[in-house]
Structure 1
Amino acid sequence: MAKALEIVSSGDVQKQFGRYSDEAMIRPVGVTKNGHLRFVMVPIDEYQRLRRRERVAGGIEDLTDDMLEAIRRVEPGAKSQDAEARLGAA
């Protein structure tokens, strides 16, 4: 289960940076300015994990003819065929 976000003011972070940077290693720390959440402090490994999950969507027009042909030639594997057979029998 994800740990709850701790919310602190930017002034508190400024005064107690060591405390909140240590806390951010345990759970996310949300930093507010004038009562509005501005950013969240997280460990670098969590930031990198989130960056790896970023996806860039492309359109079919971005695919080469070779890519499109490879997609057309794909055949379902044996496990897919077994699953289809079981679903058809239900």
Structure 2
Amino acid sequence: MLKVSVADFQRDIGRYQDIALREPVAVTRDGRESTVLISTEEYARLKRRDRQVLTLDDFTDADIKALEQSRPDPASLAFDAEMSR
């Protein structure tokens, strides 16, 4: 990821917008990354990965029945100790 100071970014924003079409551009302030410029395609890809919150009203009766009947994989028992920490 390319890093650029806020001053350089402001001086040549068009250049950095072009670069952001290919790779993220981190804008730094006082030496620390403060924002990242990305393409709209990358933004849309990331938004598609957002979690969707559903309520029980969003599930069909068949969905709820399938959830009620589901059982964890026996291999997952190896992680039970993680819950007691």
- TM-score with structure 2 length normalisation? 0.65
Q: Which has the larger radius of gyration?
A: 1
Say if 2:42 is the partner of 1:49.
no
1:63 aligns with 2:56: yes
Cα root mean square deviation, aligned? 2.3
1:22 equivalent to 2:22? Answer: no
Aligned residues: 67
Aligned mates of 1:37, 1:73 — CA distance in 2: 48
Shift of 1:36: 1.3
Shift of 1:73: 6.6
Cα distance in structure 1, aligned partners of 2:28 and 2:38: 15
Instruction: Give, in angstroms, the shift of residue 9 of structure 1.
Output: 0.6
Gap runs ≥5 in structure 1: 75-90
Q: State the AA in 1 paired with 2:9.
A: V
AA in 1 matched with 2:46: L
* Partner Cα distance (1:69, 1:19) in 2: 55
**How many Å apart are 1:33 and its aligned residue?**
1.0
Per-residue deviation at 1:18?
A: 1.1
Deviation at 1:72, TM superposition (A): 4.5
TM superposition shift of 1:8: 0.4
- Residue identity over aligned pairs, in percent, reads 37
Tell me which stretches of 4 or more aligned residues in structure 1 moved more than 3 Å: 70-74
In structure 2, the residue matched to 1:83 is: none
TM-score (norm 1): 0.62
